[in-house]
Amino acid sequence: MLRRGRGSEGPREAGDDGVAQLKIGAKAPAFALRDQSGKRMRLSECKGRRVVVYFYPKADTPGCTTQACSLQEALPSLKRLKTQVIGISPDPPEKQKKFAVKYGLKFPLLADEDHAVADAWGAWGDKTLYGRKFKGIIRSAFVIDENGKIMATFYKVSPKATLERVTAALRGST
């Protein structure tokens, strides 16, 4: 289950869809979630290095696979930029593990089954598909600095644009 640190939610502002979004410079909301191996991971474990945290709707779907595989292929260059990648979705660890094994993903995929972390990060909200309205993951990516502060936010980012956007932010050209 989720454990959020006290006072972990950084300043937020409403996006154009009414969902509260994190602000640049705010402290990234803390989390402790299980990865694809069932091991609990905390954002605080990444202190001292930069982190790309991205939220995706569902493991092993076309868009999520495109997004994850592009980040996996870029891991060597991201490591040279002293950056770790963490993916988060509402899928249980077992499904995350199948996804990681199938595509050779070597970074943590975290299970946010009650979507509390996605909500804290502004990545959970209203969606529409084929005229049907529902709540779900708003595909988003964040770049966190070495001190746990938000460097860049990308709400409603496309799977194909994720890597380009986070790399530009990491290189300081946003």
**Cβ–Cβ < 8 Å for 164, 146:** no
Q: Are 19 and 31 in contact (CB under 8 A)?
A: no
Band (pLDDT 50/70/90 cuts) for residue 19 is low
H helix or E strand, kind and range, residue 127: strand 124-129
Q: In whole angstroms, what separates CA 142 from the centre of its chain?
A: 6
User: What is the end-to-end Cα distance of the chain in Å, rounded?
Assistant: 35
For the entire predicted model, the pTM comes to 0.87
| pLDDT for res 18 | 52
* DSSP classification of residue 19: -
Active-site residue set: 64
Average pLDDT over residues 130-140: 92
pLDDT for 2: 33
**pLDDT at 10 exceeding the cut of 60:** no
b/e per residue, 137-167, with b = 16+ CB within 10 A? bbbbbbbbeeebebbbbbbebebeebbebbb
Q: Kindly report the CATH number that applies to the domain delimited by 14-170.
A: 3.40.30.10
Average pLDDT over residues 135-155: 96
CA dist., res. 86 & res. 16, Å (int): 26
Domain boundaries, the chain: 14-170
pLDDT for 104 equals: 98
Classify strands 124-129 and 40-42 as parallel, antiparallel or unpaired: unpaired
Q: Per-residue pLDDT for 35 more than 70?
A: yes
Return the H-helix or E-strand segment holding 96: helix 93-103
Task: Tokens for 169, please give them.
Answer: 């932010």
> CA-to-CA distance for 87 and 111, rounded, in angstroms?
9
Q: Residue 36's pLDDT band (boundaries 50, 70, 90)? A: very high
pLDDT for residue 129 is more than 90: no
